[in-house]
Structure 1
Amino acid sequence: MSLVELIGQADERGLAASGLACLDRCVPLLGGDDEVLRPLWAGLAEDAGAAEWGERLEQVRGKLGGEFGAVGGGDGESDADGSGDFSGSGSGSGEDEAVLLARRMLAAAPVERSAAAVRVWADACSVAALRIHRLLDPLKDAGDSVDARREGRTEGMSPLVAAELRRQITVLELLAGHGPAGLRPALEVSTEGRRVLRAVVSRRSRRRG
């Protein structure tokens, strides 16, 4: 089953976990530590209500800093247009664009965790995370777009993009197959991906230095 199909069939918890996992793997671009999103993961495991999710989300935004109102999410509405894309018209390139996408993932997280809102957010986070890995991969991804990858056309994928696609699929399969019990292994998958991206960012920084 393709990633697009898995997102289409996921329930609210699976969608929230999918979006959160994408964001978690990209935390190194936001300057956050490895524990910064743990309150949101814990909220999913505890089945915390929508209000508590919103409170924890605002606490996370406060820790990571930045002006999130400029890119949406502050009023509980996603900045995505419903097509899984909140990249906007950013003119940056390379790592700058990757950082912008990561910030928009956090900014667009819905304060009110409704099924409709997290579906849009999860889809947008999926696209953004794949774009981030494509931007930072030292090897070129031969595909025309990440949309093709999400739909199952995987020929010529670069290693970093292939690994991110695999992790996104795995997280959704874990939640679909195991419900709340799938959260812990989903977090482990995300932690592995975060370590990989942190190493990539670190190597790029050393090269610049």
Structure 2
Amino acid sequence: MSLVELIARADARGLAGSGLACLDRCVPLLDGDDEILRPLWATLADDAPPGPGWARELERARGALAGPDASGEDEAVLLARRMLAAAPAECSGAGIRTWADACSVASLRIHRLLDPAGDAAGEDLRRQDGAEPPSPLVAAELRRQLTVLNALTGHGPAGLRRALEISTEGRRVLRAVVSRRARGRA
């Protein structure tokens, strides 16, 4: 099943987890601590649909990851900031689906921008048929997104552990890329 189809079929928890995983993998761009989004993940672990805890922890994360104004930041950082800013306070309905889809696209774009082997000028990879294969960093991000959605679909809270593991792995990879990129600019 394609990424677009998985997002279309996901429930609120799966959508919130998918969007959160994309954001979590991009935390190195926001100079965030690896544990900064852990409380948001915890709100998805209950058997009940995510409730007021999501909104409270989202605001806390926004405060902790607030950066300087947008002037001078590169496109990858701006995309990560927009992901966080666009997260809906209510973890249900069309808002969470729109956010999860936007996070997927933004995260793929970020990985494309940061991939030294890639071409940053590409379109939405998820919707291209017969297109050139994506660069290694982008292909890995696409696989992570598929794995996260598959883990969350039909597994409820039990799939969150696997989604968090995948997100942590991706965050480590992106942190290394960001570090290498910073050294190259220095």
CA pair 67-204 structure 1, distance change in 2 beyond 3 A: closer
2-side partners of 1:142 and 1:27: how far apart? 20
CA pair 52-189 structure 1, distance change in 2 beyond 3 A: same
Q: Deviations over 1:34-91 (max 9, x none)?
A: 00000000000024642221011001111112479xxxxxxxxxxxxxxxxxxxxx99
User: What is the aligned residue count?
Assistant: 184
2-side partners of 1:131 and 1:122: how far apart? 14
In structure 2, the residue matched to 1:3 is 3
1-side partners of 2:177 and 2:54: how far apart? 31
The residue matched to 2:118 in structure 1 has which SS?
coil
The one-letter code matched in structure 2 to 1:34 is: D
The one-letter code matched in structure 2 to 1:6 is: L
Aligned 8 A contact 2:40 2:57 in 1: yes
The one-letter code matched in structure 1 to 2:127 is: E
Give TM-score, length-normalised by structure 1: 0.82
Alignment of 1:190-201 (within 5 A): 190-201=167-178
1-side partners of 2:74 and 2:29: how far apart? 9
Aligned 8 A contact 2:30 2:67 in 1: no
Q: Deviations over 1:126-159 (max 9, x none)?
A: 000000000000012498412xx21363632100
| Unpaired runs of at least 5, structure 2 | none
In structure 2, the residue matched to 1:96 is 74
The one-letter code matched in structure 2 to 1:199 is: A
The residue matched to 2:117 in structure 1 has which SS?
coil
Alignment of 1:46-195 (within 5 A): 46=46, 47=48, 49-66=50-67, 96-141=74-119, 144-146=122-124, 149-151=125-127, 153=129, 155-195=132-172
The residue matched to 1:178 in structure 2 has which SS?
coil
| Unpaired runs of at least 5, structure 1 | 69-89
Q: Deviations over 1:164-203 (max 9, x none)?
A: 0000011001111422110001000000000000000000
Seq. identity, %: 71
The one-letter code matched in structure 1 to 2:110 is: I
In structure 2, the residue matched to 1:36 is 36
Compute the RMSD of aligned alpha carbons. Answer: 2.2
2-side partners of 1:51 and 1:150: how far apart? 32
Aligned 8 A contact 1:25 1:193 in 2: yes
In structure 2, the residue matched to 1:16 is 16
